[in-house]
Structure 1
Amino acid sequence: MTQVSPATTPEATATAAPLPGQLRDIVNPATGEAIATVPEQGEHEVDMAVATARRAFEDGPWPNMVRSDRAKLLLRIADAIEDSSETLYTLEARNNGRPITETRAQLSRVPEWFRYNAGLLAAQRQAVLPGDGPYLTYQQRLPLGVCGIITPFNHPMLILARSLSAALANGNTVVVKPSELTPLTTLALADILADAGLPDGVLNVVTGARAAGQRLTGHPDIAKITLTGGTEAGRSAAIATASRFARITAELGGKTPVVLFDDVDPRISAEGAAFAAFVAAGQSCVAGSRFLVQRGIYDEFVDALAARAQAIRLGDPALPDTQMGPLISARQRDKVAALIQSGLDEGATLKAGGKKPSLPKPFDAGFFLSPTVLSDATMDMTVAREEIFGPVAVVIPFDDEHDAVRMANDNPYGLGAGVWTTDVSRAHRVAARINAGMVWVNDHHRLEPSLPWGGIKDSGSGKDAGTESFDDFSWIKTIVVRTAADHVDWYGDQPQRRLN
């Protein structure tokens, strides 16, 4: 298992990417300081991890374990994660910069995914299929083999748990490649699972960057890839897996529209909009990014959202009263700042934020950016079309319901969407017409282990969570048993001519 070490130079900051075989500094984005080092691993280490996982699958006890015993172990893992929760909250908040209050609210739900998939495993039934003649036909679900999971920096532990719990429940072995920026809770989780009794070789972690991810997606022994990341990375992974007919679930980019009709209170809906846009510093594929607001409440909504954005408290993620943390890196902060400037250059109005906040040491060296509201935007602006992945709310007016739906769907992405209205009929009608994998009505960012998660178009394919994800980590074998007392002699004097 990959080991994590304290940073040898706490004052160091990340510079050029290390080469395979070297060490990578893991940086606290709130201060820019290195807090740990991990090995920079590449193709060779991926090959070794896959070989270990394959041996565990072919020769180890995990795939053949009695289902009830495997379910019990998943429940034990869930309890062990809860027992380590405070350590995990602190570690993840320090590694990716999310405020501890946000991190605790999110990671406290991680055990639910293991319990949910343990329940699906315990309740799983094998189908008996109808057919003509003296035959009993039934199906078996079998594990795929070695599965690869590639996770992003924004929600490293939650997104891992979503796929890992389903993969393990079905008896697969797994190789995980976390984001090279945020591997610490993944490594900690691997230790927790081992201590809970997960057999050797079932879970393997590779700490590396693009070369490791490309080798994992292209490895001939990987039966399924689950990837959360950018659209281009997902496209490359889809091509690599298609060449060998491996499965892939890809949750990719998004440009989430949030439609607000003029029957809602603009100040109350602005509170919900702030949550949609600025939680996780906007670094979420389903973050509210395009706010389509009916003209009757447009000005009042913009003012309320700007006021809410300006009141958000930035600072030390470890403090419970901090409401927003930094972006993950200086590079990401600069990219977001450049997109904000492009919006201003194209005619948008800056109503809030748009700059680096003034913070005391050591947070003045962190990668912070103030929550930003851009009004007077149009659908053809870069900020209205491209994924920003930062704390930026772009507000665009619309006239009527037809206009709102057209604008919401005018984008290559289709991951999430929001609708705010007090009209029940319109809520259902508009939600049905928006092209997105998940639509929230009068809320945002809500998820459960039972809710299938995934998008359409450039937002990816397949589903994470729910029975859809659970079932996709297995393959179906159909068995046909002839139950008649006589035998079949096709070439005899009186052959039975029916083949289907």
Structure 2
Amino acid sequence: RGAGPRAPSPVRLQGAMALRRARALAAPWRLLSCAGPGRRAAAAAAAASPEHYGLHIDGRSVEAASGSVRPVENPATGGVVATVASGDAVDVDAAVRGAQAAFEDGRWSSLAPRARCRVLFRAAELLRQRLPDFAELETRQTGRCLREYKAQLGRVPEWLEYHGAYAASHGFEGRLPPLTDASDHVNLVWRVPLGVCGLITPWNHPLLIATKKISVALAAGNSLVVKPPLEAPLTVLKMAQLLEEAGVPPGTVQVVPGPGPDAGEALCKHLLVDRVDFTGGTATGVRIAQSMAEAGRVKPYCAELGGNAPVLVFDDVRSVEEAADGVAFAAFIASGQTCVSAKRILVQRGVAAEFTERLVAKAKGLRLGEPMLPDTDLGPVISAQQLERIEGQVGTARAEGAEVLCGGKRPDAARCALAEAGHFYEPTVLGSVSPENTAFAEEIFGPVISVSEFGTEAEGVALANNSKYGLGGAIWTSDVRKALRVAQKVRCGVMWVNCHHRNDPSSPWGGFGQSGIGRENGPESFEEYTSTKSLTLRTSDARENWFGDRNARYS
């Protein structure tokens, strides 16, 4: 007191800087305040009229038949990133018929696998050159930290290269199965593309998950119609343009953003669609299966659905601090909005107290704010609706006996300068969670985790398997034999030991139970995007007369 004005605290300084940065991103003219009147007017016009994206059909950007347009919101600032045409069943029908025509005339499906491989490699190189632009656009439409996207998207071109190379080198190799007692017949077996594939992609990893599906579908020779989410469709639309620039013929990749009940359902039910590949929630995955059955068309279906991943932390971990850091990464990357985010943290009693204390301290220290800034650790969740859902689930968990060890609420302005503008939720750790609690039984798709204790290895495995889901899971231990033993017992399709979120185009990805059916990545995904064709060829010149020769045989 009496010493003059106080210096602003580091928290206030950081918050003020983040807010100024967010305002600049939401209003481009602020960046040109020192420019001449002409440039300021142009910037103001750009801010007032955000970029517009149409549907991508037959190589052109077109408006929806209904004229419907939706804004794409920046979840961190509430500003409008762009507007996008919103398609429905009419647009889906046009896209599917265009893709069917492209498949039938062979502009892509009849190319040699090596020719398709060369195009996909060109696309990978173009994508690498433009990754900074894609990363920034992803951040603006999802609110996920730019630092995360720079790390993640750097590997996305590998999916184009892997699937292109696999198709060219192994995917279409034929075989000659021997026919018993039929030396005058030859059996030829080879793989063929399916036709038109419908891909429905989510908002949490827009470019990565779309590229995982698109790359293998194209490598296999299919045509495809992609329905990206209305919340984050922009990079998928950009990707379609890039693929055509690389040499994919127009009509081969169609993109129709639109609401799930309109565009998504129409795509799944369309009789000319030969396969559906979906990533999203379990309830939606079930509805898709029902809608395909109602349409009366049998077709293969791949679904990567909910997660609620268990993480087992044993008391023989090399370092409790390292395990806590690793689990925090597993849980809070992408603000907890990934299908394999750590959700159910199961800790052996010998280290439970220390581990939980360190994990809570880590969560409390994470910095929330403008995702474009390099020092931000957590961005917002995708929408106001999702934020309200998280709040409701945490409220239910508390009513059922869970203890909030940290978080459990929206941040105030002191912790997050964009708290009022964006859809932020504090990283939350819940303790005293029983298997019957909502926080244990249901996936909370946000920065919320539960901590439960176990005694023996068998008890830990039983807790891990006490779930209807089975997508991803992790084990933290210094005993490799224990790691292998436990990994075999835990019912998850993807497992990690002393790490998390590692992914590769060669490694199959999919779950058990209510986490879905089918597999992405690896040879398994290529096989799902193709079908075998078997041809039996008679090589003998001898005449066959079944009805004239009573000793003739046909098997």
Deviation of residue 490 (structure 1)? 2.1
Is the 8 Å Cα contact of residues 7 and 37 (structure 1) preserved in structure 2? no
TM-score by length of 2: 0.85
Aligned residue pairs: how many?
488
Match of residue 146 from structure 1: 196
Task: Find the residue that maps to 2:312 and give its secondary structure.
Answer: strand
Quick check: 1:50 aligned with 2:101?
A: no
Quick check: 1:129 aligned with 2:177?
A: yes
Matches within 5 A, 1:182-221: 182-210=232-260, 211-221=262-272
Quick check: 1:34 aligned with 2:80?
A: yes
Match of residue 487 from structure 1: 543
Counterpart among 369, 372, 382 of residue 425 in structure 2: 369
- Distance in 2, matches of 1:244 and 1:409, equals 35
Deviation of residue 426 (structure 1)? 1.1
Q: Which moved more, 1:343-352 or 1:319-328?
A: 343-352
Match of residue 162 from structure 2: 116
Counterpart among 70, 75, 81 of residue 127 in structure 2: 81
Quick check: 1:430 aligned with 2:486?
A: yes
Counterpart among 399, 406, 418 of residue 352 in structure 1: 406
- 2:75 alignment partner AA: P
- Distance in 1, matches of 2:239 and 2:530, equals 24
Q: Which moved more, 1:61-70 or 1:240-249?
A: 240-249
Change (3 A) 1:186 1:363: farther
Is the 8 Å Cα contact of residues 7 and 25 (structure 1) preserved in structure 2? no
Deviation of residue 228 (structure 1)? 0.3
Task: Find the residue that maps to 2:389 and give its secondary structure.
Answer: helix
Is the 8 Å Cα contact of residues 369 and 417 (structure 2) preserved in structure 1? no
- Distance in 1, matches of 2:147 and 2:409, equals 24
Kindly provide the CA deviation profile for residues 80-106 of structure 1, in whole angstroms up to 9, marking residues without a partner as x: 111111110110011101111101111
Is the 8 Å Cα contact of residues 453 and 463 (structure 1) preserved in structure 2? yes
- 1:204 alignment partner AA: Q
- Distance in 2, matches of 1:165 and 1:274, equals 31
- 2:164 alignment partner AA: A
Quick check: 1:257 aligned with 2:340?
A: no
Task: Find the residue that maps to 1:364 and give its secondary structure.
Answer: coil
- Distance in 2, matches of 1:20 and 1:459, equals 35
Counterpart among 245, 269, 280 of residue 298 in structure 2: 245
Kindly provide the CA deviation profile for residues 363-384 of structure 1, in whole angstroms up to 9, marking residues without a partner as x: 6310111111111211111111
- 1:276 alignment partner AA: A
- Distance in 2, matches of 1:246 and 1:270, equals 44
Match of residue 465 from structure 2: 409
- Distance in 2, matches of 1:83 and 1:363, equals 34
Counterpart among 278, 281, 285 of residue 227 in structure 1: 278
Task: Find the residue that maps to 2:420 and give its secondary structure.
Answer: helix
- Distance in 2, matches of 1:82 and 1:464, equals 22
Match of residue 13 from structure 1: none
Kindly provide the CA deviation profile for residues 201-253 of structure 1, in whole angstroms up to 9, marking residues without a partner as x: 00111010121001111111110011001111111112233441111100001
Q: Cα RMSD (Å) of the superposition?
A: 1.7
Stretches of structure 1 that go unaligned for 5 or more consecutive residues are 11-17
Larger CA Rg, structure 1 vs 2? 2
Quick check: 1:178 aligned with 2:228?
A: yes
Stretches of structure 2 that go unaligned for 5 or more consecutive residues are 1-44, 51-63
Kindly provide the CA deviation profile for residues 447-467 of structure 1, in whole angstroms up to 9, marking residues without a partner as x: 100111111111110001111
- Distance in 2, matches of 1:266 and 1:376, equals 20
- Distance in 1, matches of 2:47 and 2:491, equals 46
Is the 8 Å Cα contact of residues 439 and 449 (structure 2) preserved in structure 1? no
Task: Find the residue that maps to 1:480 and give its secondary structure.
Answer: strand
Q: Which moved more, 1:175-184 or 1:343-352?
A: 343-352
Match of residue 454 from structure 1: 510
Q: Which moved more, 1:339-348 or 1:195-204?
A: 339-348
Matches within 5 A, 1:150-169: 150-169=200-219
Task: Find the residue that maps to 1:496 and give its secondary structure.
Answer: coil
TM-score by length of 1: 0.95
Match of residue 395 from structure 1: 451
- Distance in 2, matches of 1:303 and 1:223, equals 52
Is the 8 Å Cα contact of residues 6 and 36 (structure 1) preserved in structure 2? no
Deviation of residue 9 (structure 1)? 6.0
Task: Find the residue that maps to 1:366 and give its secondary structure.
Answer: coil
Is the 8 Å Cα contact of residues 277 and 288 (structure 1) preserved in structure 2? yes
Match of residue 465 from structure 1: 521
Could you list the runs of 4 or more consecutive aligned residues of structure 1 that deviate by over 6 angstroms after TM superposition?
none
